[in-house]
Chain A
Amino acid sequence: MSTLEVSPAEPLPGQSGHAVINDFSIQVATVNGSGSQTANTVLMRSLFQMGIPVSGKNMFPSNIAGLPTWFTIRASKHGYIGRRKEVDFLVAMNPETAREDVMNLDSGAAVVYDEPLKLNELRSDLHFYPVPFDKLVVPVCPEAKLRKLVRNMIYDGVVAQLLSIEMEEIRKALVKQFGKKKAKAADLNWGACQAGFDFAAKTFTKSDPYRVERMNETAGKIIIDGNAACALGCMFAGVTVVTWYPITPSSSLVESLIGYMRRFRHDPETGKATYAIVQAEDELASIGMALGAGWAGARSMTATAGPGISLMSEFVGLGYYAEIPSVIFDVERVGPSTGLPTRTQQGDLLTTAILSHGDTKHPMFFPCSPEECFSMAIEAFDFAERFQTPTFVMTDLDLGMNNWMADPFSYPEKPIARGKVLTAEDLDRLGGFARYKDVDGDGVGYRTLPGTNHPKASYFTRGSGHNAKAQYTEREDDYINNMDRLAHKFEVMRQYVPEPELRLAENASIGFVAIGTSDYAVRESCDQLKNEYDIEASYLRLKAYPFTPHLADFIRRHDRVYVVDQNRDGQLLGLMRLEFDVELIARLRSLRYYGGLPLDARTVTDEVIKQEGK
């Protein structure tokens, strides 16, 4: 029954009888705008529902329709959910890229493809499964204009059959995807899926080694993208003023938030909103509004990406000097203007750390997972108000826009802390206040909110030219005193930022330092180094800037420390250079990747081996 048109003379790798179970990646190559997202989400979700650790990465162009897009699903019984460089199972739906996609595969990979593309003629060391999509779609989708979309669901059925994905899970995932309101669409797609499954069962003899088996590693878990997780964090942090300007990849953060706030943040009695969300005219305005709101006492935030960070620069400096709390989410991506706005990067670290002119320093939080997007968003609001300063939550496109498996979020039981704000009663008791006086020794003054019903509540807010009483001054000593207090405040922050996560390996002479989404590649690389090269490596994952003393301790403990950066110039390493002495800096090695894709473990391992001279 096999329709394999090319029968390799030698057995293909994987044909020797051993099966590869729950440890491979599937790549679906399609055309942007062809509606493949549903099919891909359903495929990923059905693996998840079978209890198999899974991740999905969408590599898409800056385009609405027509350009190539790839979706990679990784199933990993070991729980590795970072990107895997190698593709084991290709679904080639895009004629434009099919040849290159096939030529890039490692020997032994499997290819499901659209029959007319005749990809089987390209190589003889792969497992080919040709599918006549156009022919199969006609009977299951009578309406011609829907066929382009429904066609994709056929490959879900084919892949399910070839990989032993349970069809019942596919059906469940489909129903979940479409919801109750779109039952008709779900039925239509389910029909296509079954047609694909039946065709594959009838036609193919499986020759590749890849298949799945039910596990129990995802029970209770959720699937969510980092942007939605941040949005939930903001809602549960009690955000009240949200300002934004659309920019990839941060737009969906605020769009998710709008969705949640509409559902859960209207007063049940009056129906009125307990928040305001404003789409501003640009990022200059969105940060200005966020700071205005923070100044007036709201829990305010904005979300943006690199180009927006550049535009916000001047205002953020004012926020630093005027000491105004606000939370800024930076979902990092590549480059200005027409660049690679849909590719991931950790490229805003240096600019953000010292954003604006003059002596400015800003705290940054680095979540690596949806759970941390949620919890750190909440922490960031408390932190911003605790220290009265713009506070950045740095994620990236990989975390923000891709779907991730996560543990359900813990409810923030801790009461919201609004920082040092004096009320009218406080002013009665104190008889007045000095806005920028360091009363408690932590560098943080007491503030009042405009509208406080007290004749002694007011103060005048301006840039760096003020004394402890917020009076205008250009005096040298006033300026220096203020700058020193701000520097002291930044030092105090080290005790309050989230502490890093430490994984010490016994007798390790090398270590990794990384942030955010580099985590998945680094953890997997630690295992690769140990299993393949017998090299032990420790790992410190930083969760915030300013750094805590743990970092210097970690560097001191190891001969060489690889600082992992998803940018060209080693920006995380650069931040360390700014504060460490020569002895520590000499131990640092730079490990960089900047191709725009999520970092993968093999890249990390290869680079370490190269630098270690092994």
Chain B
Amino acid sequence: MSTTAAPPPKKVNRLGLEVLNYKGSKTTLCAGCGHNSISERIVECFYELGVQPWSVAKFSGIGCSSKSPAYFLGLSHGFNGVHGRMPAIATGALLANKNLLGVGVTGDGDTASIGIGQFMHLVRRNMPMIYVIENNGVYGLTKGQFSATADVGSTLKTGTVNDLPPFDCCALALRWGATFVARSFSGDKKQLQAILKTAIAHKGLSVIDVISPCVTFNDHQGSTKSYSYMKDHEAMLHELDFVPFFEELAVDLPEGEVTDVQMHDGSHLRIRKLSREYDPTDRSAALTLLAEADARGEVLTGVLYVNTGKPTFLELLNVADDVLATLPEAKTKPSKAVLDQVMEELR
């Protein structure tokens, strides 16, 4: 909402907000960091879909990735928590206010090491929020140690070889029962946008593992999370197109070419087949595909799995329609008659 002397006609979204209203403060991450691209995609997606910024709450843990919520959606509340425990903070906040659109940003250290337990339980609960893993295989803020997603045989800048197998956060999330699982690459603007927009529309937890190269500590020869490695090894599962609920849907779909997934809010994810047949609602197929791609040395990207039917944790808890945080005293403090009744029972 800045003012300029001679304003050109401003471009606004369906809420009348400019893209500027979706930006955050200036990034302090390294120039060229994949995380900055992800922040830009988040800005674009929330702007384009016309999500009200102050209905969003941002959450993160600790690490380079977790600094990034300060760099997008400056008009949203944000909470930079402790290392690996963003899921708990987000869960609590969303219990308090179920109308919040939760966006969690985390890293591979934050999620796959110190926070893997909380990640697991977040998935188990199907907590309705977006969970973006900015995955670069390395601890950046502590200057370049391997993380648990680093591939076996990949090397540090110092030449140290990683001899432990990686955790595949997508495969793990699928096994634990995640309802939306996708992998993308920070350099793939179109795909990442479609995935993020679908995640905004998804009713449950959206796990998005984004390979996001660390230009300072993990962009060298020998790294499997570098820009050049991704250029050579990314295998796109399909082409994605997201049609929001407020836009008209093209009716004619080429038979057999495009799969349509209707999201909870009436939006559509259109999946255009590339080289192979793929049903994004088949969980075991997704796991098989990941294993096969891994064996071929490919980094498979796209929407791996969508399940729009599973209840969220908030639904399971049968929580009141009104926001718990601001329920009036009349709803939260039982009457004197109730206390008298309980006292009588204890006599």
Residues of A with Cβ closer than 8 Å to B?
220-224, 232, 235-241, 243, 260, 264-265, 267, 270-278, 280-282, 284-300, 314-315, 318, 322, 408-409, 411-412, 415-416, 448-455, 457-463, 472
From A221, A237, A278, A296, contact of B57 by CB (8 A): A296
From known contacts A223-B346, A416-B333, A458-B54, infer whether A273 and B320 are also in contact, taking CB-CB under 8 Å: yes
Q: Which residues of A contact B121 (CB under 8 A)?
A: 280-281, 285
Query: How far, in angstroms, from A277 to B314 measured CA to CA in the complex?
Result: 11
Q: Which residues of A contact B65 (CB under 8 A)?
A: none
The 8 closest A-B pairs by CB, nearest first: A288-B88, A292-B92, A297-B325, A238-B332, A450-B77, A298-B96, A296-B96, A289-B92
Q: Nearest chain B CB to A223's CB is how many angstroms away?
A: 6
- Would A278 and B74 count as touching, CB distance under 8 A? no
- Would A455 and B320 count as touching, CB distance under 8 A? no
- Would A289 and B332 count as touching, CB distance under 8 A? no
Closest B residue to A282 using CB positions:
B117
Which residues of B68-91 have CB atoms within 8 Å of chain A's CB atoms? 69-70, 74-82, 85, 87-91
Q: Which residues of A contact B162 (CB under 8 A)?
A: none
Q: Nearest chain A CB to B266's CB is how many angstroms away?
A: 23
Inter-chain residue pair count (beta carbon < 8 A): 222
From B54, B88, B321, B324, contact of A292 by CB (8 A): B88
Query: How far, in angstroms, from A374 to B1 measured CA to CA in the complex?
Result: 50
How extensive is the interface on chain B, given as a class?
35 or more
From B87, B97, B318, B346, contact of A296 by CB (8 A): B97
From known contacts A288-B89, A411-B336, infer whether A461 and B331 are also in contact, taking CB-CB under 8 Å: no
Q: Which residues of A contact B99 (CB under 8 A)?
A: 451
From B55, B74, B85, B332, contact of A451 by CB (8 A): B55
Q: Which residues of A contact B325 (CB under 8 A)?
A: 240, 293, 296-298, 449, 451
- Would B79 and A461 count as touching, CB distance under 8 A? yes
Closest B residue to A238 using CB positions:
B332
Query: How far, in angstroms, from A455 to B237 measured CA to CA in the complex?
Result: 39
From known contacts A270-B320, A449-B325, A457-B54, infer whether A285 and B87 are also in contact, taking CB-CB under 8 Å: yes
A and B contact pairs by CB, cutoff 8 A, 11 listed: A243-B92, A273-B319, A275-B324, A280-B88, A292-B94, A296-B325, A297-B96, A409-B339, A455-B75, A458-B75, A462-B79
Q: Which residues of B contact A239 (CB under 8 A)?
A: 332
- Would A276 and B54 count as touching, CB distance under 8 A? no
Q: Which residues of A contact B3 (CB under 8 A)?
A: none
Query: How far, in angstroms, from A290 to B81 measured CA to CA in the complex?
Result: 13
Which residues of B294-345 have CB atoms within 8 Å of chain A's CB atoms? 314, 317-321, 323-327, 329, 331-334, 336, 338-340, 342-343
Q: Which residues of B contact A264 (CB under 8 A)?
A: 334, 338
Q: Which residues of B contact A289 (CB under 8 A)?
A: 88-89, 91-92, 95
Query: How far, in angstroms, from A272 to B347 measured CA to CA in the complex?
Result: 30
Residues of B with Cβ closer than 8 Å to A?
1, 21, 53-55, 57, 59, 69-70, 74-82, 85, 87-97, 99-100, 117-118, 120-121, 314, 317-321, 323-327, 329, 331-334, 336, 338-340, 342-343, 346-347
- Would B346 and A297 count as touching, CB distance under 8 A? no
Q: Nearest chain B CB to A401's CB is how many angstroms away?
A: 16
Q: Which residues of B contact A295 (CB under 8 A)?
A: 79, 89, 92-93, 96
From A222, A288, A457, contact of B343 by CB (8 A): A222
- Would A455 and B54 count as touching, CB distance under 8 A? yes
From known contacts A451-B55, A455-B1, infer whether A288 and B320 are also in contact, taking CB-CB under 8 Å: no
- Would A457 and B92 count as touching, CB distance under 8 A? no
- Would A453 and B336 count as touching, CB distance under 8 A? no
Query: How far, in angstroms, from A297 to B331 measured CA to CA in the complex?
Result: 15
Most buried by B among A220, A460, A463, A472: A460
From A291, A408, A458, contact of B77 by CB (8 A): A458
Q: Nearest chain A CB to B338's CB is how many angstroms away?
A: 5
- Would B332 and A416 count as touching, CB distance under 8 A? yes
Closest B residue to A237 using CB positions:
B333
From known contacts A264-B334, A315-B82, A409-B339, infer whether A278 and B91 are also in contact, taking CB-CB under 8 Å: yes
Query: How far, in angstroms, from A416 to B54 measured CA to CA in the complex?
Result: 27
Q: Nearest chain B CB to A231's CB is how many angstroms away?
A: 10
Closest A residue to B325 using CB positions:
A297
- Would B80 and A462 count as touching, CB distance under 8 A? yes
Closest B residue to A271 using CB positions:
B318
Q: A222-B343, A296-B94, A450-B97 provided; 5 other pairs, C-beta below 8 A?
A: A270-B321, A297-B325, A451-B97, A457-B77, A461-B77
Q: Which residues of A contact B74 (CB under 8 A)?
A: 458
Q: Which residues of A contact B118 (CB under 8 A)?
A: 281, 284-285, 288
- Would B92 and A300 count as touching, CB distance under 8 A? yes
Q: Nearest chain A CB to B83's CB is how many angstroms away?
A: 8
- Would A297 and B97 count as touching, CB distance under 8 A? yes
Q: Nearest chain B CB to A293's CB is how many angstroms away?
A: 4
Q: Which residues of B contact A294 (CB under 8 A)?
A: 92, 96
Query: How far, in angstroms, from A314 to B61 measured CA to CA in the complex?
Result: 13
- Would B93 and A293 count as touching, CB distance under 8 A? yes
Q: Which residues of B contact A297 (CB under 8 A)?
A: 96-97, 323, 325-326
From A275, A315, A450, A454, contact of B85 by CB (8 A): A315
Closest A residue to B88 using CB positions:
A288
Query: How far, in angstroms, from A267 to B319 measured CA to CA in the complex?
Result: 10
- Would B323 and A451 count as touching, CB distance under 8 A? yes
Query: How far, in angstroms, from A277 to B317 measured CA to CA in the complex?
Result: 8
